Amino acid sequence: MGHLLSAVEIAELLIHRDHHISITIFILTPPCDLKITSFIQSQTSERRLKFVTLPLDESISINPTNIPAPSMIPIDSFKPRVRECVKETIRSVRLGEFVIDMFSTAMIDVADEFGVPTYVFYTSGGAVLGFLLHMQRITLEGFRAQRAEVPVVLRRMPENGSL
């Protein structure tokens, strides 16, 4: 739910900055997630911000009392439905790009099919991103030092909500 809140906030900033932009957020959700359903219903006032909820494939069984973390949901199973929804959407509007969550990188393939660029919207802070990229570099290059130093650049974001 946290990633959805951040995505909606940035979407609202974008559509208020440019009246030519409309945004459709595809929500890949497991069944029985009432928090997401009520959040979507509370956000329906903006016409240029649309939500499309794509439930989990029926063939994948999930215990409703133990909903998995987003990283554990098989994103590939959503590709056909996302593809169909995008085809339907582009009948009335021009598709500009895909902006995906870090857990949905499998959707880059779908964006490539439509010939549009894909951007990953990273909802965590810069320190976490710096750490993950540094750990990836260590993994690829091999860990040679006994003491790990993590280079991270921290920059305060404007508090007035401007980009």
- Report the 10 Å Cβ neighbour count for 119: 11
Q: Which of 19, 101, 109, 134 is catalytic?
A: 101
* 20 is annotated as an active-site residue: no
Strand partners, 38: none
Nearest to 54 by CA among 68, 36, 72: 36
Annotated catalytic residue 101: yes
Cβ(14)–Cβ(96) below 8 Å: no
Q: DSSP of 99-141, one letter per residue? A: EEEGGGGGGHHHHHHHT--EEEE--S-HHHHHHHHHHHHHHHH
Q: Which residue among the candidates 3, 33, 57, 134 is catalytic per the annotation?
A: 3
Give the DSSP H/E element, type plus range, for residue 23.
Answer: strand 23-29
In a 3-state reduction of DSSP, which class is residue 5? Answer: helix
Backbone angles phi, psi at 43, to 5 degrees: -105, 15
Residues with a catalytic annotation lie at 3, 101
